[in-house]
Amino acid sequence: MVLQKRLDYGFNGYQVPPVPRATRSARRRGSFKKKHEENQICAFDLLAIVAGKLLLDKKSAPSSSNTSADKDQCAVINSAVKNKWQDVEKSLKVEACDQGSSDKNIYVSDLSHVHRQGCSSKESLVTQNDLNLGLASALTKPDCAERSNAERLVSGQTKNEIGTFASKAEGDSSEYREFGGCKLEAATKRAVKDEPHKSGMVQSSTVANMCNLEDPVVLDAKPPALVSSDSRAKVPACGNHISNSSYPTNQDDLHVVSRDDDENSSGCTHPITTKKFFRPAPRIGDRRIRKFLASKCWKVAPRLKDATVSNCDGNFKPVFRKRQNCYRHQRSERIYPFKKRKHFAYSSPSNSDGGMSCEFVSDLSLKGSNGDASVSRSRMHGATGASSSFAGQRTSFLPRDSHVKLRIKSFSVPEFLIEIPESSTVGSLKRTVMEAVTAILGSGLHVGVLLQGKKVREDNKTLRQTGISHNNQLDALGFCLEPNPSQTPPSLSPGDSPFLLQCDTPQPIRRYPPTTGEVNQDICADPEPHVNNLGNYIESDHDSAPSPTDTSMDKNSNSKALVAVPAMNVEALAVVPAHQKSKRSEIAQRRIRRPFSVTEVEALVHAVEKLGTGRWRDVKLQAFDNAKHRTYVDLKDKWKTLVHTARISPQQRRGEPVPPRSSWTGSSLHTLTGRSSRRSSSSNTSRQRLAFSSEIW
């Protein structure tokens, strides 16, 4: 094995993403290089932090004493390490010095591993570890007894225990979790601060040790290339804690701890025990292809805006369908439940006075609801179950006379048609309907008012004029949701109402045809897995997405392809475009918070370590391709917070390690490099860190 030339641009010994591709903007800004370099540091740090697979063998820790001899030894270690690393052809089994014994090595494991781990440090690993992770307390404990104690603890733990511990710890604090059970000062402190009652966990520095000092064997474990928490994998009952083996360090038996369920899932953790769960890092070509496809899909992934925008023209269907085809699993669930949910709730009142009620609408609702809608109490409709039922008061727009109190129990959804292959599952049918309904609801609605079963179209009349008064029988009054007319630019009515649109042409019922039914069926040869996949897939909306390697993905996509979401002409040149628009943005609801799971963070770190920052889209595609709810912005943000939480000072990011402990600082170790000597001048920071660590350990 050969250390690839990436070492050449290793920054402070950290692995550098292969030939970083500066983004266009970055190139333009000319700031890419710097950013990238900084990122390398972050990548490594966080990688180390998160993965908890530091390259140090536990034996590398100075074992028993903290004498100056030790320090000298450390210096030797470091220079040895450094030299080793500079020799690109040599084995990466870097010898460290522990009492001068070559048996006690710093293991860097093999090259491939190193590359996977992203650690190609030319620097002292010891230093790095210690620096970034507070490494093993064994390394840093000034007190010999303490140190050896820590060591004992470390060595006494089996891998499994480590995993268990880490997992448990993982479940305790989300801040803590983010570091994969490896303690980081900042993180730990934060955990303490945030959850004082759990400080017990925090004190267990052994976790860090264990993680950091795992056997080289363990280190060889393939790091997850992808973060996919495949929800289609068997998801065991969610317990409070994860199974012992859930810590993803075992080779070929990666267990995914998927915890990105909903925010308040009471720490529900799904140990996913599917073997070979992770797809190994795709080869370049492979990845290219995948990337290409994915990016294609990604690019056309409809957002809400897309939908609305594309709906604005009359010929929306082809466009939309195309998107639909491409979108597949990427279709983000965020679109519907959140951004759109409120739309109809708001849009009804806002539209009700918009003067958009049209004849065809009335026609529709009548047809659709079989007259039901024409009665005041329209019920939830058909299989959709998606009527927007809300009860509330609807005050009239009358200036200040007696108010009409209305109670709207529910709205009926206008009729629409769905075509779906017979081979489709009930689940997909439901989903199809749901999406159709959601699309209708989300794409702008009008409220139709019916009085005594008659459509009230004169929007400018007062309620009183219309005959709606407080002493009315409320039953005489009805409301229905009406789709916006997808019509050619409406012309203003020359009549009494300047805002009343003329929509005399009856609109055909919307259809939601399957995109390519036959093809789908062909592909979905076996309907059974289809069912399962779909079911799980739907559930997976809450969780992460399925693994990309899973071929059943296709089926899913196909089943999704059956879901033809209608394109409705939303605010097609609506009467009050600006108004509606502002409303829309107002309405947009915040997405639910979904804390990153350890696995995700790991994957993120890996991806960033590999790709560098500034390529969030690539990161997303590569590592979070299936996590539909993670946008590249999310990833970027997560990285941001990770770096912040890790308290990787700009200094460190620039590659100037800060000694965690003055006892180390003073040693000859730090005179090895100019950097090291510079470092001592920055002891200010180190003292802060010191105080910090002592708080924890």
Partner DNA sequence: CTTAGGG
Partner DNA sequence: CCCTAAG
Residues interacting with DNA, by CB under 7 A?
23-26, 28-29, 31-32, 35, 295, 298-301, 303, 305-306, 338, 585, 588, 590-594, 613-618, 629, 632-634, 636-637, 640-641
CB of 595 to DNA, least distance (A): 8
Which residues lie below 8 Å from residue 691, measured CB to CB, with a gap of 6+?
A: none
3-state secondary structure of 408: coil
For residues 292 and 286, give the distance between their C-alpha atoms in angstroms, rounded to a whole number: 10
What is the closest distance, in whole angstroms, from the C-beta atom of residue 583 to DNA in the complex?
13
Buried b / exposed e over 479-490, threshold 16 CB at 10 Å, is bbbbbbbbbeeb
**Nearest-angstrom CA–CA distance, 528 and 523:** 13
- Written as six digits, the tokens of 351 are 């539209």
The distance from CA 500 to its chain's CA centroid, rounded to whole angstroms, is 45
- 428/622 with CB nearer DNA: 622
Per the CB < 8 A criterion, the answer to whether 653 and 54 are in contact is no
Cα distances (Å, whole numbers) of residue 63 to 138, 144, 388, 693: 7, 9, 68, 20
Q: Which residue lies nearer to DNA by CB, 519 or 633?
A: 633
Report in angstroms how near the CB of residue 330 gets to DNA at its nearest. 11
Shortest distance in whole angstroms from residue 288 CB to DNA: 16
Please identify, using beta-carbon distances, which residue of 305 and 407 lies nearer to DNA: 305
Which is closer to DNA, CB of 193 or CB of 303?
Answer: 303
Q: Which of 391, 388, 392 is nearest to 413 (CA)?
A: 388
Helices (H) and strands (E) in the chain, counts: 31, 7
- Min dist CB 301 to DNA, Å, is 6
Min separation Cβ 697 and DNA, Å: 30
State which residue, 295 or 396, has the beta carbon closest to DNA.
Answer: 295
Q: Which helix (H) or strand (E) holds 79?
A: helix 68-86
**CB-count burial class (<10 Å; 0-12, 13-18, 19+) for 281:** buried
Contact of 693 with 140, CB cutoff 8 Å: yes
Rounded distance between C-alpha atoms, residue 606 and residue 362, angstroms: 57
Element (H, E) at 187: helix 185-194
Q: From the CB of 261, what's the least distance to DNA, in Å?
A: 11
Shortest distance, position 298 Cβ to DNA, whole Å: 5
Neighbours of 240 (CB within 10 A): 10
At its nearest, how many Å lie between DNA and the CB of residue 319?
12
| Residue 633 to residues 44, 210, 615, 620, Cα–Cα distance (Å) | 21, 33, 10, 9
444: left (phi over 0), alpha (psi -120 to 50) or beta: left
Closest distance between DNA and the C-beta of residue 299, in Å? 5
CB of residue 24 to DNA, shortest distance in Å? 6
In one-letter notation, the amino acid at residue 86 is: Q
Rounded CA separation 252/244 (Å): 16
CA 453 to CA 75: how far, in whole Å? Answer: 90
Residue type, 300: V
Nearest Cα neighbor of 329 from 38, 143, 550 is 550
Strand order in the sheet with 445-451: 454-456, 445-451, 477-483
Between 45 and 618, CB nearer to DNA: 618
The most distant pair of C-alpha atoms in the chain lies apart, rounded to whole Å, by 99
The neighbouring-strand residues paired with 451 are 454, 477
Q: Give DSSP secondary structure letters for 101-162.
A: BTTS------HHHHHHHTB--SS-HHHHHHHHH---HHHH-SSHHHHHHHHHHHHH--HHHH
Are 458 and 355 within 8 A, CB to CB? no
Q: How many CB atoms lie within 10 A of CB 640?
A: 12
Phi, psi of 63 (to 5 degrees): -80, -50
Query: Between 529 and 595, whose beta carbon lies closer to DNA?
Result: 595
Sorted by sequence, the CB contacts under 8 Å of residue 355 that are 6+ apart come out as 459, 460, 497, 499, 500, 501, 575
Instruction: Choose between 255 and 334: whose C-beta lies nearer to DNA.
Output: 334
Shortest distance, position 339 Cβ to DNA, whole Å: 8
Q: How far is the CB of 165 from DNA (least distance, A)?
A: 27
Q: What's the CA dihedral at 367, 371, 372, 376 to 10 degrees?
A: 120
Tell the smallest beta-carbon distance from residue 19 to DNA (Å).
Answer: 15
CB 233 within 8 A of CB 272: yes
Question: Considering the complex, what minimum distance in angstroms separates the CB of residue 234 from DNA?
Answer: 25
Q: In the complex, what is the shortest distance from the CB of residue 645 to DNA, in angstroms, rounded to a whole number?
A: 12
Based on CB atoms, which residue is closest to DNA, 130 or 178?
178
For the bound state, the minimum distance from the C-beta of residue 302 to DNA, rounded and expressed in Å, comes to 7
Please say whether the dihedral angle defined by the alpha carbons of residues 673, 679, 681 and 687, taken in this order, is positive or negative. negative
